[in-house]
């Protein structure tokens, strides 16, 4: 059978790298009994992601919780790992699943207790995200990230040692940028 559809009626599919499509990322955090924790990462895309097949395997992340070792924990396991991925039209965790939106909300495991405390709330809100799989939309394919997206800058912290009365050696941390 010969098709009578012309080429002009076929949808035009464009490709864009996730590194270009991701506008920014934002941390959603809270303060727990053992200090502040990252509850979720809101990944803002430049388009509505309606129809995108997303799940925990679509992304890799890195956050402060993941820097904790078993020795740093007094309770729980796997701090900071991805627990849920969903869409939203706002940079917040939704009470029910949405089928569209330009934000991907990546929820993280906060069911743990740490024995060490971060030096700053901004340290625990530092995160990075990398899209690992393509997202197929109606008229666009968002290809995987090459470099990923982050919301922080690396900064040095110089503390005071009360035992010696001198400054401690500088320590380097990732600090979430203001407003993220």
Task: List, as one string, the DSSP characters of the chain.
Answer: ------GGGSPPPEEEEHHHHEEEEEEEEEEETTEEEEEEEEEEESS--TT----GGGEEEEEGGGG--GGGEEEES-TT-EEEEEEESSSS--SS-BS--SEEEEEE---EEESS--S-HHHHT-EEEEE-S-EE-SSEEEEPPSS-EESEEEEEE--EETTTTEEPPPEEEEEEPTT-
**126 pLDDT higher than 70:** yes
Measure the CA–CA gap between 99 and 49, rounded to whole angstroms.
8
Instruction: Grade residue 132 by pLDDT with cuts at 50, 70 and 90.
Output: very high
Whether residue 93 contacts residue 104, with contact meaning beta carbons closer than 8 Å, is answered with no
The predicted structure's pLDDT at residue 151 = 96
Q: What is the mean pLDDT of residues 46-58?
A: 95
46: tokens are 């430049």
Which range of 39-43, 65-69, 97-101 scores highest in mean pLDDT? It is 39-43
**10 pLDDT higher than 90:** no
The predicted structure's pLDDT at residue 6 = 53
Percent of the chain beyond pLDDT 70? 94
Residues 6+ apart with CB under 8 A from 147: 19, 130
The predicted structure's pLDDT at residue 110 = 96
Residues 6+ apart with CB under 8 A from 69: none
The whole-model pTM stands at: 0.87
The predicted structure's pLDDT at residue 160 = 84
**25 pLDDT higher than 90:** yes
Query: 133: exposed, middle or buried (C-beta count within 10 Å: 0-12, 13-18, 19+)?
Result: middle
């Amino acid at each position: 059978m010969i098709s009578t559809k012309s080429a002009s009626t076929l949808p035009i599919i464009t490709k864009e790298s996730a590194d270009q499509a991701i506008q920014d990322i934002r941390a959603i955090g809270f303060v727990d009994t053992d200090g502040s924790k990252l509850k979720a990462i809101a990944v803002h895309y430049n388009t509505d992601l309606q129809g995108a097949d997303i799940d925990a395997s679509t992304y890799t992340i890195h956050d402060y919780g993941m820097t904790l070792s078993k020795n740093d924990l007094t309770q729980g396991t796997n701090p900071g790992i991805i627990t849920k991925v969903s869409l939203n039209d706002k940079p917040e965790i939704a009470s029910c699943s949405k089928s569209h939106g330009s934000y991907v909300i990546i929820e993280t495991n906060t069911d743990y207790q740490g024995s060490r405390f971060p030096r700053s709330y901004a340290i625990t809100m530092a995160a990075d995200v990398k899209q690992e799989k393509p997202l197929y939309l109606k008229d666009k394919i968002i290809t995987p990230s090459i470099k990923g997206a982050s919301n922080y800058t690396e900064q040095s912290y110089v503390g005071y040692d009360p035992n010696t009365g001198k400054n401690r050696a500088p320590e380097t941390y990732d600090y979430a940028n203001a407003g993220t």
